[in-house]
Chains A and B, each alone.
Chain A
């Protein structure tokens, strides 16, 4: 089955700097890769996702890149702000009904 590794487990950056979180997956059949942000005491919320037919996707300060050959995908946050502080989860899955497999999460702290 699928296995998703996520690094780093914790990340501290200065406000205004960029943050990068990396994930690898094992199953070449996976073709859907969402990223979730979970603020303290709240539900995980989808912030961006990418499918295997594209290599990069951007939404304002957030971008995700996908390298299918190497089986890894990354979340890039530019111009970080204190409100970006949260736990971020990557996940991998297919276009069917099998469950998404999540990474263990990255706790991002943005220091003002």
Chain B
């Protein structure tokens, strides 16, 4: 069974801090994704990666960056956290053309 693990379920940070959200998958999937989920807005794609060291912008990349140094790990970075980045963040992984699997999510609060 595919397992996508996000490092934190809940995280509280202050404005201006650099924030790291970590995601690890155990199924050797080449594709990994970071989404943001807000009420009424559905799942919005921030960044994705289809291979190690490769990254592509999604629909809302502003204020975020990512890192994929190893195939199983995909990190989302908030360079300087702001209150409008308070949200639920979901990581996912997928082999091309196959079902996508999500992590449990990180609820991030920026104070």
Contacts and interface: CB of A to CB of B under 8 A. Distances in A.
B57 to A, nearest CB: 11
Q: Which label, helix, strand, loop or mixed, suits the secondary structure of the A interface?
A: loop
B26 to A, nearest CB: 15
Interface in A75-102: 89, 91, 94-97, 99-100, 102
B103 A46 contact: no
B45 A44 contact: no
Interface string A34-54: 101000001111100100000
Interface string B34-76: 0000001111010010100000001000000000000000000
B58 A99 contact: yes
B100 A34 contact: yes
B31 A44 contact: no
A100 B103 contact: no
A36 B35 CA distance: 15
Contacts of B33: 99
Nearest to A51: B97
A42 B40 CA distance: 17
Contacts of A36: 102
Contacts of A9: 40
B87 to A, nearest CB: 15
A43 B90 contact: yes
B30 interface: yes
Interface of B: 30-31, 33, 40-43, 45, 48, 50, 58, 90, 94, 96-97, 99-105
6 contacts: A44-B43, A89-B42, A89-B43, A99-B58, A100-B100, A102-B42
